[in-house]
Amino acid sequence: MTSVFRFVGRTLLVAAAIISVGCSSQMDQQRELELLADRRAEILSSGLPVNYGSLSIVRAQAKQNRVILEMLYAGDSTLSAQALYQQAEKYYCSNSEILTTLKQGLVYEIRIRNSRGQITVNELISDSTCNPSAAGS
């Protein structure tokens, strides 16, 4: 009977070790994503503000696995803030360097504010938004 308890005890110990390694690996991956987001935000911040016609990128920051880009929209363009976001999404989804980071799990959050500071666009760009057919796989 004691050999059964030893066997069960050892099995539980091995199972706990495997689970702990799996969790550790997942935590390491999350930490790597957070560091990647920090680096990307830092690089982007170093060149700000950047003006693209009536759109100005004024802030870049990282939060977990997200790079948050804050933009101001002057509203004096023929394109709406949503149309400008769609152009940004098309660029992010076609740039090979950015796509690589998206596939690793990085997410870009685009916030566009009007001249009064109100958020008019708050959208995420991720691997699943760039590849909607892959999201269900």
- The count of domains in the chain is 1
Whether 92 is in a domain gets the answer: yes
CA 107, CA 125: separation in Å to the nearest integer?
Answer: 6
Domain contains 21: no
Average pLDDT value for the chain: 84
Least confident of 23-27, 57-61, 100-104: 23-27
Query: What are the residues whose beta carbons fall under 8 Å from the beta carbon of 38, sequence distance 6 or more?
Result: 62
Cα 88 vs. chain centroid, distance in angstroms? 15
Q: Is a pLDDT exceeding 80 seen at residue 1?
A: no
Instruction: Please tell me whether the overall predicted TM-score, pTM, comes out greater than 0.85 for this model.
Output: no
Give which of 43, 53, 59, 54 is closest to 98, Cα–Cα: 43
- The range of the structural domain enclosing residue 116 comes to 32-135
CATH code of the domain containing 102: 3.30.300.250
| Within a domain: 113 | yes
The confidence score (pLDDT) of residue 86 equals: 93
CB 45 within 8 A of CB 59: yes
For residue 29, what pLDDT band results from cuts at 50, 70 and 90?
Answer: confident
pLDDT, tens digit, for every residue of 35-69?
999 999 999 999 999 998 888 999 999 999 999 99
CA distance 28 to 116: 41
Residue 11, pLDDT > 70, answer no
In a domain, 107, yes or no: yes
- At 102 the pLDDT is 96
Residue 95 located in a structural domain: yes
pLDDT value, residue 26: 76
Q: Give domain status of residue 8, yes or no.
A: no
C-beta separation of 55 from 83 below 8 A: no
